[in-house]
Structure 1
Amino acid sequence: MAVYFQKREVVVPGQLLAEGRYRSSFGTYDEEGKIFSSLVGLAELRGNTVKVVALEGTYMPKEGDLVIATINIVAGNNWKVDIGGPYGASLHANNALRRPYSDDISEYMDIGDVISAEVIAFDRNSGPFLGMKARGLTVLTDGMVLDVSPAKIPRIIGRSGSMINMINDHLKIDTIVGQNGRIWIRAPSTEILRLAIKAFRTIEAQAHTSRLTDRISSMLLEELEKIKGSVDKKEEVEDAAESTETEPEPEPELDAKAEPEPEPESKTDSEEKSEPETPPEEKETAVEVVAKKDEEKEEPTEEVSEK
């Protein structure tokens, strides 16, 4: 028994990996007790099983795979679904809905809907068949879908989910990682969503390196501190602006010496015209009174002269 590669060594097709009592797995083939690589990727030994994780490549469906898919066609009781790769998938209503269901299955899922589903059967002639009756499989109404290389999905998930769980815990996001190279992400803010995408792109580019989980964790913590600092600074600026708006502006002080002295009021022509005039009747009465007095004075003079 012998192993001819180091842990996570990059190997090429036809390269001898092991011989003896070892089992061939994904990315390898067995010839007369010798195991060779069938693709370019990272060689791994798990127990007595040898496999190669591809660095690049299209998605090849396998039974039990979790996939993120998009509905393209609604035909009778079937949905035609895009899962990426060379094969189109089918989803029958019996494998997604509980009976009884409507004859118009577009009421439940329609063209353009994004779903999480499981590959329940795969035939190279007819393509894979999907199911949605397992727990957690549903229509994904929120979030976004990020496309990555299907070959990098094992690294994004990590051993026993270590990588994806760490990202979810740091960023407080919800994710579903499909084996077909699609990741559904729901984040609380645009900044966090961008940071999640950056993390997944970094993993995709550095999938062949060691201690990647620790480096991604450190990067996320640093970026989160920057986001928190920018948010705090923005809140301080907004608070300062609000306090400035609420403060009353001081009224300008008036100079007592500069106050103009009041000018004497003068009667206008209209006011003079508006003064009451003596009625003509009253004037005539006054003349009559004067005349009567004159007559009374004259009467005694005439009497004296007659005597």
Structure 2
Amino acid sequence: MAHDPQCAGSRPCGAPARPGSDPPRRPPQLCGPHAPPWRRALAQGLRQGAAFLRACLATDCPLCRGAARGARLCGECARDASASLEGMRRCPRCDLPAFAAMRTGAAAGPQAQAGPAGCGCPLAQAPFEALVSGFEYRPPADQLVLRLKNRLQLSAAGALAGLLARRVRQAPWAAQPDWWLVPVPASRASLLRRGFNPAAEIARRLSGELHWPVRGAWLRRVREPRAKQTRLGRRQRQLAARDAYRAAPAVRGRKVALVDDVVTTGATAVAAAQALREAGAARVVVLAAARTPAPGGPADLAK
């Protein structure tokens, strides 16, 4: 085999390595966990700069097609979407209105009778300390989720991240440093159908809004669901999500913000957060682009 004289190696190009020889060098990483600090800082600066430029670009509102910037909602649509979460006291653990959480908590059983808001929270015993959502999953803002997941419009992820970031900034714990975004892994069937993970796309845009790093490799799915989530009830979702995720050792001692597109019963969030805590995560919160209204409400989309 011919040897290139300009090659710095000591063996012919393409030849297998001799036993005991040094392994081939990995290409330098720009922002991976093994990259030098200056490379990670450079990558973070490039992401923030790109997010700033996107925010300055004039675009159409994803909902009303009016004037907006950075693929976000216009001011009027953003106010309409956020209005679904305003004007009532919400439970910080399940992000449902306190009175609605009392109804769903009673249906969930005795383990749901000690919510942080003094209500019968259905997620009172969940392995995460807070759940924050960008809006209630009801018209017209629910079209953002449908366009991302069904129509494969990735631009909708930016609008969803903008709504979610607005509420995250209001949370007291968000002012503390060193939070890491970890998207909920999609199932293999979902990845084959869409070609991307909606939660990961939202997390990537949310990173630009909050300047928190994303680590998708810190959580992976180890068991595939047998049926679509939308066809399952609360108890069936809990069984389907149990032991479905495994976290990497890198989460030990970290403050993790778990990102998902929609939270309905909370079964997926509970299972993923449990995997993170078992791997040693110091704190876990859940960030969802949308929260389905409580069962029995006027716009019940949780069924």
TM over 0.5: no
What TM bracket, shorter-length normalisation? under 0.3
Output the TM-score relative to the length of structure 1: 0.24
Larger RCO, structures 1/2 (Cα 8 Å, 6+ apart):
2
Q: Whose strand fraction is larger, Structure 1's or Structure 2's?
A: 1
Structure with higher Rg: it is 1
